[in-house]
Amino acid sequence: MINVQNKRIRCFDTLRFFAAVIVLVNHASWFFPTSLNWILHNWGICNAKSAVAFFFVLSGLVLHQSGLGAGPTGVSIGRFLAHRWFRIYPLYYVSLILGAAALCLPLETVAALRTEVTAAPVVLAHNHWDLAQWINHLMLITPGLDFDFINPPIWTLAAEMRIALVFPVLSFVVSRLSMGAGGALLGISFAAAPAMGAMTVPTIALIPLFIGGAWLAQHRRQLPHLPQAGWLVVLTVGVVLYVLAPWLCPPSSILHLYVAGFGSLLILPATENCQAVRQFLEARIPVVFNDTSYGIYVLHFPLLLGVAYGFNAAGLPAWLFVPISILLTFIVAVIFNRLVEMPMIALGRRLTRSRPTRI
Specify if 358 maps to a domain. no
Q: For residue 323, count CB atoms less than 10 angstroms from its CB and return exposed for 0-12, middle for 13-18, buried for 19 or more.
A: exposed
Q: Is residue 282 part of a domain?
A: yes
- Would the pLDDT of 1 be above 50? no
Residue 219 has what pLDDT?
93
359 located within any domain: no
Residues 268 and 216: beta-carbon distance below 8 Å: yes
Q: How many CA atoms lie within 13 A of 196 on its CB side?
A: 12
Q: Using one digit for the tens of pLDDT, what is the confidence trace for 246-277?
A: 888 887 899 999 999 999 999 999 999 999 99
Rounded to whole angstroms, the Cα distance separating 207 from 65 reads 17
Cβ neighbour number for residue 1 with a 10 Å cutoff: 9
pLDDT at 201 over 60: yes
Of 63, 255, 94, nearest to 166 (Cα)?
A: 63
DSSP output for 34-61: -THHHHHHHSGGG-HHHHHHHHHHHHHH
Q: Taking a C-beta distance cutoff of 8 angstroms, is the pair 68, 172 a contact?
A: yes
Could you tell me if residue 356 is inside a domain? no
Alpha-carbon distance of 210 to 180, in angstroms, equals 17
Global pTM reads 0.92
Percent of the chain residues topping a pLDDT of 70: 91
- pLDDT of residue 348 exceeding 50: yes
Q: Is the pLDDT of residue 308 over 60?
A: yes
Q: Are 9 and 271 in contact (CB under 8 A)?
A: no
- Contacting residues for 71 by C-beta, under 8 A, at least 6 apart: 172
Closest CA to 318 of 112, 117, 133, 150: 112
Please give the tally of structural domains in the chain: 1
Does 357 fall in a domain?
no
Separation between Cα atoms, residue 38 and residue 34, nearest integer Å? 9
Do 89 and 109 touch, CB atoms closer than 8 A? no
Residue 3 lies in a domain: no
21 within domain boundaries: yes
CA distance 268 to 62: 12
Q: Cβ neighbours of residue 49 under 8 Å, at least 6 residues apart?
A: 245, 246, 256, 257, 260
pLDDT at 118: 74
Return d(Cα 318, Cα 339) in angstroms, integer: 32
Range of the domain at 178: 10-351
**Which sign, positive or negative, has the C-alpha torsion 55, 171, 345, 342?**
negative
Alpha carbon distance 73, 218 (integer Å): 20
Is the confidence at residue 68, as pLDDT, over 70? no
Q: What percent of the chain has pLDDT over 90?
A: 68
Q: How far apart are CA 254 and CA 145, in angstroms?
A: 20
* Residue 4: inside a domain: no
